[in-house]
Amino acid sequence: MRTSAIGSLPGTDLGAGTRLALESVSVPWLPEFPARGPWAGMVGRALGLLDGLGAELAAGEWKLSGLPGVDQRRARAALRDDLDVLEENAQGLTGPLKVAVTGPWTLAASVFRPLGGRVLGDRGARRDLAQSLASGVRDLIGDVERRLPGVEVLLQVDEPALPSVLTGAVPTEGGYFRHRSVDRPEAVDLLRELGGHVLHCCAPGLDAALAIGEHGAGFTGVSLDQDLMTRADWDTIAPLLEDGRELWLGCAPTASGEPLGADALTRRVLGALRPLELGPVLLDRVVLTPACGMAGWTPRAVSTLLRALGTTAERMGDELSR
């Protein structure tokens, strides 16, 4: 069974954090360091990728603009720094490397139009944003593969706002009303623009079939917080796992900043997976991860948790074969 992590790490030491992300899990990832500023967080990084669309940060809110603002230029520079450090520390790396970007629906729910109102409220604007993001993501993947020709880039699409988008729970700019719910076909269509490998959502209520089902957005895997999964979620995911899809299981809670040990993680993972009665099949279909990013943790706690995840994954071969 493999292990990985979700995205963010604490602090601003790019070298140390990147080496941790490369060496501590079986599926390494390109980390985010949001402590560097808003241009280095999940929304800022995504806006730095936009192709042909400008953005700026004003009064703490990101909005689209006619020309790239100083903070969008900083976002692009921050990502270049991340890639330079990755290239320096990952020479000779082969196999999968996970790169995360904020998805089109969370971006549309977080970013405003030039004259006000969230992008989410304008069907044309949200499609333009999704297409611009998809073009920028293709350039990013190409850049990583050029720098590290031995890697296979796995794209993780972060969509924490997607359940709210689908249920009409995203507030309007003034906060008194809610945006209309988005139809499922449109949601799937814009997600397909990115062509990602795993859809990550750390909010409750995501239907996994939207990402990995037969008529879904074409992802290979879905990444969910174990503590937010209901019995209905497991009933949906079990047959999809049998069909070869993947579950990136957020088995390690991240809210408290205190890492669970390997024994506790083993009990949690077995308690979730054994009732599926799929046995050793799950060793190739499940990836163990923290529930979400760990920007608020200490570096030592992050290291401790990732080691515990590795030990838990090693135990699964024997445990799931019984």
Q: Which domains does the chain carry?
A: 2-32+85-101+121-321 (3.20.20.210)
What's the mean pLDDT when you consider all of the chain? 97
Q: Residue 70 has what pLDDT?
A: 97
Residue 124 has pLDDT above 90, yes or no: yes
| pLDDT at position 195 over 90 | no
Segment 17-33 mean pLDDT: 98
- The pLDDT of residue 117 is 95
The pLDDT, as a whole number, for residue 111 is 98
Predicted local distance difference test score (pLDDT) of residue 322: 79
For residue 22, give the nearest of 102, 100, 101, 94 by alpha carbon. Answer: 94
What band does 275 get if pLDDT is binned at 50, 70 and 90? very high
pTM score: 0.97
Confidence of residue 4 (pLDDT cuts 50, 70, 90): very high
The average pLDDT across 293-318 equals: 97
Question: Residue range 275-302: average pLDDT?
Answer: 96
Q: What's the average model confidence in pLDDT over 57-62?
A: 94
Contact 75, 44 (CB under 8 A): yes
What tokens appear for 42 in the block?
């999940």
pLDDT for residue 174: 86
Q: pLDDT above 90 covers what percent of the chain? A: 97
DSSP letter at 7 equals S
CB 64 within 8 A of CB 54: yes
Find where tokens 């979700």 sit. 6
Residue 290 one-letter amino acid:
P
Determine the pLDDT at residue 321: 84
The mean pLDDT of 258-281, rounded to a whole number, is 96
Q: What is the mean pLDDT of residues 73-82?
A: 97
How does residue 7 score in pLDDT terms, banded at 50, 70 and 90?
confident
Residues 2-23 have a mean pLDDT of 97
Cα–Cα distance, 81 to 20 (Å, whole number):
17
